[in-house]
Amino acid sequence: MGRPIGMLPAHALTLAACLVAVHEPTLPRTGSIARVAAIPPPAASAAGELTLGGDMPVHRLGFGAMRITGQGIWGEPEDRDGAIALLRRLVDLEVNFIDTADSYGPAVSEELIAEALHPYPPDLVIATKGGLTRPGPGSWQPDCRPERLKRCCDESLLRLKLDAIPLYQLHTVDAKVPLEESVGALAELRDEGKVRHVGLSNAGVEHLRRAQEIVPIASVQNRYSVTARDSEDVLNACQEQGLAFIPWFPLDAGRIGADVLAEIASAHGATPAQVALGWLLRHSDVALPIPGTSSIEHLEENVAAAGVRLTDDDLERLDGLATN
Ligand SMILES: NC(=O)c1ccc[n+]([C@@H]2O[C@H](COP(=O)([O-])OP(=O)(O)OC[C@H]3O[C@@H](n4cnc5c(N)ncnc54)[C@H](OP(=O)(O)O)[C@@H]3O)[C@@H](O)[C@H]2O)c1
């Protein structure tokens, strides 16, 4: 049985007093005993807010829930309890935008989100996607036929225990299915109330224009980071129209690293990953990064990027990192 707190031995109290004293100088004194409170790192709200679809405000630093599954984004994670704990930590860190997909696992990511967080905090926005099938680990195949998208949406609703999916994204453009047919299915799901807003993923500017002729589009999710900028034209289109742009691989899938990033990070007492995320937040105010991780430590580090304040000189140097 654990010892009640009031019965801590004297040496433990002395040690505790020494530990807290390290943080004390920044806090006001009230009487002879220092008031002690750890200064929390910045939470996701420090990244500012973005309103998705005109009515869903979210903090501008979200979470990508692809990495909480097994290897190859396949099956159950090795540490299931750890994945649940990580998802619950999001709430403490004020992360209120989670990106997932039916194909992550498949099904596993959505199931874990529901298990960890349902009933959901009222401000939590879950974005999921349909349109990719999974023949096996690491393998992805498009299937954006309307009837399949509708079935996938129904299954996501059940797994996520939702009446309506806040943001339902077409995961890809399927070369075998006219975009108008795939987006048409999402428009019908929206009319039926199963989907609140529709988003696109892996789409170009012309896809966006064609989709917008069928249904209002709230967001586009494409690969984009400080070093991978193929989608700059899509980001610009989102910026002009006030749509959210959700960069996937914001950390280049964990490979982010360049001398400039490390130098700027060290000047700010930050990490290269935090600088890469801080750049995205400053580069565009419609950017909603969704760094993915299976580690609570990395999650905390990534969310604390909301507090990194890059200078104009930093931005100029980072702008020069573009490889495309
Ligand atoms: N729409 C699409 O087609 C599409 C495609 C890919 C991804 N996505 C979405 O985008 C999200 C983000 O992409 P992603 O997760 O693939 O890539 P990412 O965010 O660029 O990087 C994630 C990788 O970086 C590592 N990492 C995370 N934080 C780190 C840190 N602070 N320091 C060092 N390493 C760190 C992670 O490993 P640890 O687990 O060890 O932290 C993981 O391997 C996904 O979760 C998913 O929701 C969408």
Q: What value does the mean pLDDT take over residues 1-9?
A: 30
The pLDDT score that the predictor gives to residue 41 is 77
Which pLDDT score is estimated for 255?
86
| Strand-pair category, 195-201 with 217-223 | parallel
Q: Look at residues 168, 202, 203 and name the one whose alpha carbon lies nearest to residue 188.
A: 168
**Furthest CA-CA distance within the chain:** 74
Mean pLDDT over each residue of the chain, to the nearest integer: 89
For a substitution probing ligand 1, which of 61, 63, 67, 303 has the most ligand atoms within 8 Å of its CB? 67
Contact by Cβ (8 Å): 71, 36 = no
Residue 11: what pLDDT? 32
170, 144 contact by CB (below 8 A): yes
Same domain assignment for residues 225 and 109:
yes
User: What angle separates helix 312-319 from helix 259-268, to the nearest 10 degrees?
Assistant: 160
pLDDT tens digits for range 54-69: 999 999 999 999 999 9
* Higher-confidence position of 221 and 42: 221
Residue 66 lies in a domain: yes
Q: Are residues 59 and 100 in the same domain?
A: yes
**Is residue 324 domain-resident?**
no
CATH of the domain at 224: 3.20.20.100
Closest residue CA from atom 48 of ligand 1: 248
Mean per-residue pLDDT, 242-269: 93
Residues 33 and 46 in one domain: no
What residues flank ligand 1, with Cβ below 6 Å? 64-67, 99, 201-202, 221, 248-254, 273, 290-295, 298, 301-302
Distances (CA, A) of 130 to 98, 142, 188: 15, 9, 14
Instruction: Go through the chain and tell me how many residues it has.
Output: 324
Same domain, 277 and 129: yes
> Which atom belonging to ligand 1 lies closest to the Cα atom of 255?
24
pLDDT-based confidence at 254, cuts 50/70/90? confident
Structure tokens at 270: 């930050």
Phi-psi bin for 208: left (phi > 0), alpha (psi -120 to 50), beta? alpha
Question: 197 in helix, strand or coil?
Answer: strand
Mean pLDDT, range 247-267, rounded to an integer: 92
CA 279 to chain CA centroid, Å, is 15
Residue 58 in any domain: the answer is: yes
33 has pLDDT over 70: no
Quick check: 7 pLDDT over 50? no
- Structural domain of residue 13, as residue ranges? 1-39
pLDDT attached to residue 257: 77
- Report residue 24's pLDDT band, with 50, 70 and 90 as the boundaries: very low
Judged by DSSP in three states, 321 sits in coil
23 occurs within a structural domain: yes
Instruction: Mark whether 2 and 145 lie in a shared domain.
Output: no
> What is residue 309's predicted lDDT score, i.e. its pLDDT?
92
Residue-wise pLDDT for 132-189, tens only, equals 999 999 999 999 999 999 999 999 999 999 999 999 999 999 999 999 999 999 999 9
Q: For a substitution probing ligand 1, which of 99, 298, 300, 308 has the most ligand atoms within 8 Å of its CB?
A: 298
The active-site residue, picked from 104, 120, 168, 224, is 104
| Residue 24 belongs to some domain of the structure | yes
Residue 79 shares a structural domain with residue 118: yes
Residues 278 and 154 in one domain: yes
Domain count, the chain: 2
Q: Are residues 143 and 231 in the same domain?
A: yes
Do residue 85 and residue 111 come from a single domain? yes
215 Rama class: left (phi>0) / alpha (psi -120 to 50) / beta: beta
Does residue 252 share a domain with residue 119? yes
CA 132 / ligand 1 centre spacing (Å): 18
Q: What is the pTM of this model?
A: 0.89
- Residue pair 108/70 in contact by the 8 Å Cβ criterion: yes
Nearby residues of 298 by Cβ (< 8 Å), 6 or more positions away:
273, 291
CB atoms near residue 205 (< 10 Å): 15
Q: Which of the 8 DSSP states describes residue 287?
A: B
Note whether 46 and 18 are same-domain residues: no
The whole-number pLDDT of residue 274 equals 96
104 is catalytic: yes
Task: Indicate whether 165 and 199 sit together in one domain.
Answer: yes
Q: What is the mean pLDDT of residues 6-24?
A: 29
Pairing of strands 56-59, 63-64: unpaired
